[in-house]
Amino acid sequence: MKVIDTALPGVRIIEPQVFGDARGFFLESFSARRYREAAGIESDFVQDNVSRSAHGVLRGLHFQRTRPQGKLIQVVEGAVFDVAVDIDPQSATFGQHVAVELSADNHRQIWIPPGYAHGFCVTSDTAIFQYKCTDYYDPADEGGLAWNCPELAIPWPIQAPILSDKDRRHPGLREWTRAQAR
Ligand SMILES: Cc1cn([C@H]2C[C@H](O)[C@@H](COP(=O)(O)OP(=O)(O)O[C@H]3O[C@@H](C)C(=O)[C@@H](O)[C@H]3O)O2)c(=O)[nH]c1=O
C-alpha cells in the first residue's frame, strides 16, 4: 500500500493494494499492524460508521470538542470531495485544509487524526461513505464550522449543497475561535 503525507500534520492519504482478477477485486481496508507500521496509525478504533448520501449532499464540518475522533475514511460506492481542516489554534497550519477525492474507483482512504474538523460533499449520483473512529460519538460534545466560511476558502466542487439543519447553523472560523477564547 502507498501512504502519502499531506500539508497537515498527521493527515495521510492511503492507497491500499488492490488485487484485481476476473471476479472483481480484493483489498484489505484495515490491518492494525500494517497501518501502524506503514501509516503511523497507532489507534484503537472503537466505532465504525456508514452513511449514504445523494449527489450534492454536504456533511460537515464536524468535530468533537473534548473527545476528538481520529477517522479512517473510505468510499465504497460513488465519489466524494473530502476535507480535513486544522482547528488547533496553536498549530502552524491552523485554518488550513487538505482536500482529496475519495471514490469507489480510486480506493483511496484518508486518515484524519483526532483534532481536525472534517466534512465531505458527494460528487457522484450517490455515495456510500464508511469510516472507523477512535472514540465514541457523543452528541453533547459535537462541534461544527460553517462549510462555506470564507477564511477556510475550501474549493468545494458544489455551489449549493444539500445540508442538514444543524450544518446550516455552524459558526465561521473566526467566530468559533473567539468563542473558544472566552
Ligand atoms: C455521527 C453519528 C450520528 N448519529 C446519529 C445522530 C443523528 O440522529 C443521525 C445523523 O447524524 P449527523 O447529521 O451528525 O450525521 P453526519 O452529518 O453524517 O455526521 C458525520 O459527518 C461527518 C462529516 C463526520 O466527520 C462524522 O464524524 C459525523 O460527524 O445519526 C449516531 O447515532 N452516531 C454517530 O456516530
2-181: CATH number: 2.60.120.10
Does the active-site annotation cover 35? no
The vertex-89 CA angle with 87 and 91, nearest 5°, equals 85
Alpha carbon distance 42, 34 (integer Å): 10
Spatial CB neighbours of 43, under 8 Å, sequence gap ≥ 6: 70, 134
Helices (H), the chain: 32-39, 165-168, 173-181
CB 19 within 8 A of CB 124: no
Q: Is 62 in the pocket of ligand 1 (CB under 6 A)?
A: yes
Among 62, 107, 118, 170, which one carries the catalytic annotation? 62
Maximum pairwise Cα distance, the chain: 60
- Mean per-residue pLDDT for 79-90? 97
Compute how many other C-beta atoms are within 10 angstroms of the C-beta atom of residue 117: 24
- Mean per-residue pLDDT for 116-132? 98
Alpha carbon distance 135, 70 (integer Å): 7
% of the chain beyond a pLDDT of 70: 100
Q: Is 97 in the pocket of ligand 1 (CB under 6 A)?
A: no
The pTM of the full predicted model, rounded to 2 decimals, is 0.97
Among 97, 107, 118, 131, which one carries the catalytic annotation? 131
pLDDT at 181: 79
Q: Is 68 in the pocket of ligand 1 (CB under 6 A)?
A: no
CB 176 within 8 A of CB 142: no
Statement: residue 182 has pLDDT above 80: no
CB 58 within 8 A of CB 148: no
- Mean per-residue pLDDT for 68-86? 98
- Mean per-residue pLDDT for 31-55? 95
pLDDT at 90: 94
Nearest to 172 by CA among 87, 50, 113: 87
Q: What share of the chain is helix, strand, coil (3-state, %, to 5)?
A: 15, 40, 45
Ligand 1 pocket mutation, candidates 62, 71, 72, criterion most atoms within 8 A of CB:
62
% of the chain beyond a pLDDT of 90: 96
- Mean per-residue pLDDT for 58-71? 97
Residues 112, 5, 95, 136, Cα dihedral to 10°: 10
Q: What is the pLDDT of residues 19-30, one digit of tens each?
A: 999 999 999 999
pLDDT at 4: 98
